[in-house]
Chains A and B, each alone.
Chain A
Amino acid sequence: MPTISEGQEKDIKMDFTIDTVRAGVADGSATATAMAELHYSRIAADDGDKGKGINSFLALSKERALAQAAKIDALAAKGEELPALAGVPVGIKDVLTMKGSPATAGSLILKGYRPPYDATAVTKLESAGAVLLGKLNCDEFAMGSSNENSAYGPVLNPRALDRVPGGSSGGSAAAVAAGFAVATLGTDTGGSIRQPAAFCGVVGVLPTYGRVSRYGLIAFASSLDRVGPFTNNVKDAATVLQVLAGQDALDATSSDRPVGDYVGALEKPVEGLRIGVPAEYFGEGLDPEIRASIEKVLDGLKAEKCVIKPISLPHTKYAIPTYYVIATAEASSNLSRFDGVRFGLRSAEAKTLSEMYRKTRDEGFGPEVKRRILLGTYALSAGYYDAYYKKAQQVRALLTRDFLTAFNEVDVIVAPMTPTPAFKLGEKTDDPVAMYLADIYSVAASLAGICGVSVPCGATKDGLPIGVQVMGRHFDEATMLRVGLAVEKMQG
């Protein structure tokens, strides 16, 4: 455990892991309080305009963080056994509620709203000893692939400041990459954890649908939304997932299946595992440097005595259109609750109730949110329901069957996470379809409900991070993370 002094901090960017933080807190060489203050000082230095202007945090919760840190330090002083995340500084995506802190979801319509309750994932992290630093920037209502749809300004990619961090959980990915937090929570509806993880060079986990409670998550598309962690390495991701996973009476879609031993599974070798390589993920549009990087990963897994098997997921090309019908239809229903009555913004202009609904929503929602509400409302409207919504639900079943069939023959599926590395700010903002295609390799797993992880696997010659995705069977995060760890070890 390195000791932390200001002079040293300027020289070396230290990436703490959960293990190093816990060890430091346990032996008193770096208290939870010092760790929280160090991370707040990093945020003060580089998150705002005076520093690099990363813009990852929308609100800090110092009082709550320092109270929790003091509690952990008192536990450590008494020599008591420390919980799994004791003293670990974490950040929370702003679509999850934290009692008393703002929850804007990146939108003006929730400006000033301070929810009176904690999301289950937040409660679980804090109960495991984590120190909650604050709330993280994201695309408005988690709708976007670049974090440029936030009403509170874009987030910059810490690895290349002229590039997007990905989205929608751009702030969560950037905060880990910049060393502002040791772990963060994001949410993923069509790629919003895995794609920014790949763009920022960190680990991001999409748990199986139903593995982590959605209670306290401001809903975008309820049949797709998931909560998951960002970390610097695979072991940390397994540790955080272990804390988050499990059934919650407050989320009827959370599963009662037993939770695996994710950290323990990492000890097992990957020898003999069957790795599926889907031809559809290596087609036109894949950046050649990313392709080469993924091929190197596959060679490495072969050297570890994994069995590499070519497979086909034949409906892959229909994943994006299917996703944009289902996600927008669900969003048009979910976002009807933002009407100026119960929370957040209310237009001062309106004289009647119906005018208040319309004006509040007009002033509060940004263009991408309006676009998706319109598309979803159109797809659900009389005369179009069967042609769009029902059709998309049928294709969703076909896409899911693709995976279920493939997993009869392989244990995990390995593929590129994104077709390109992080793109430049402003590059795709005028073309919604081009922006949607940034999620071409992530949405199929979202629709099928399987688990996935993005693991860094090198960089382009320009130094932009590359991510490889490992997809696992429903509720088999353990095997997925084992392979993820093997990939991480190859990077040296």
Chain B
Amino acid sequence: MSEQAGVTIEDVRRVAELANLELTAEEEPRMQRDLNAILGHIAELNELDTKDVLPMAQVGEMLGGEAHTHGETLRKDVVAPSLDRAAVMAVAPETDGRFFKVPKVIER
């Protein structure tokens, strides 16, 4: 964040690729503009010295929860029925009843 060069069109394309998003030619400059506006606002965080502050990932950590669980409470490790496979497969776009089917993976 120290270098405020800003987000370029190339950055937008690279991040879109990482996120598996396809942007249209009209969307790219708009996203660039918006990301720069939002990141400009986010840059205000640099005003704060946080050198000695532990990052907070979960609320429970701040309430004296046990450190190794991040304040979460873990359930007992026991076998229990999960959702019925047939019910799950019934709402998928394409299946053979046992597996999800997808287009071919290897491109040539």
Interface residues of A (CB under 8 A from B): 113-117, 209-210, 223, 247, 249, 252-256, 315, 317-318, 320-322, 324-325, 332, 336, 339-346, 350-359, 361-362, 365, 367, 370-371, 373-375, 377-378, 381, 384, 387-388, 390-398, 400-401, 404, 432-433, 436, 448-449, 474
Contact = CB atoms under 8 A, between A and B. Distances in A.
A358 B21 contact: yes
Given A373-B21, A391-B1, A391-B45, A342 B92 contact: yes
A374 B35 contact: yes
A185 B22 CA distance: 34
B104 to A, nearest CB: 6
A339 B20 contact: yes
B37 to A, nearest CB: 5
B37 A432 contact: yes
Contacts of A448: 59, 62
A395 B34 CA distance: 23
Contacts of B16: 374
Interface of B: 1-2, 7, 11-12, 15-16, 18-23, 27, 30-31, 34-35, 37-39, 41-48, 50, 53-60, 62-63, 72-75, 83-84, 87-88, 90-94, 100, 102-105, 107
9 contacts: A116-B88, A318-B45, A322-B45, A362-B21, A362-B23, A373-B19, A374-B35, A388-B42, A396-B55
B91 A343 contact: yes
Contacts of B91: 113-116, 343
Contacts of A362: 21-23
A404 B100 contact: no
A399 B6 CA distance: 27
B27 A370 contact: yes
B27 A367 contact: yes
A343 B92 contact: yes
Main secondary structure, interface of A, reads helix
Contacts of A115: 91
Contacts of A400: 56, 59, 62
B31 A371 contact: yes
Nearest to A113: B91
A280 to B, nearest CB: 14
Contacts of B103: 350-353, 355-356
Contacts of A373: 19, 21
Nearest to A359: B22
Contact of A352 (B35, B38, B105): B105
Nearest to A116: B87
A391 B50 CA distance: 7
Contacts of B83: 116-117
Contact of A318 (B15, B44, B54, B90): B44
B57 A341 contact: no
A432 to B, nearest CB: 5
Given A247-B73, A391-B45, A404 B107 contact: no
A390 B60 contact: no
A377 B105 contact: no
A398 B53 contact: yes
B98 to A, nearest CB: 14
Contacts of A223: 57-59
Nearest to A396: B56
Contacts of B2: 387
A432 B30 CA distance: 11
Given A375-B38, A391-B50, 20 more contacts: A116-B87, A254-B73, A318-B47, A320-B41, A321-B42, A343-B93, A350-B103, A353-B104, A356-B102, A365-B21, A370-B27, A370-B31, A371-B35, A374-B31, A378-B7, A393-B55, A397-B55, A400-B56, A448-B59, A449-B62
Given A352-B107, A400-B62, A449-B62, A342 B100 contact: yes
Contacts of B102: 341, 353, 356
B54 A116 contact: no
Nearest to B24: A362
A344 to B, nearest CB: 8
A449 B57 CA distance: 11
A321 B44 contact: yes
Contacts of A392: 42, 45
Contacts of B30: 367
B34 to A, nearest CB: 5
A384 B43 CA distance: 12
B19 A374 contact: yes
Contact of A378 (B11, B72, B88): B11
Nearest to B30: A367
A326 to B, nearest CB: 9
Given A353-B103, A374-B31, A321 B56 contact: no
Nearest to A433: B37
Given A116-B83, A387-B2, A432-B38, A253 B56 contact: no
A344 B1 CA distance: 37
A152 B7 CA distance: 32
Nearest to A370: B21
B19 A332 contact: yes
A116 B84 contact: yes
B23, B42, B46, B74, most chain A CB atoms within 10 A:
B42
Given A355-B103, A374-B16, A397 B38 contact: no
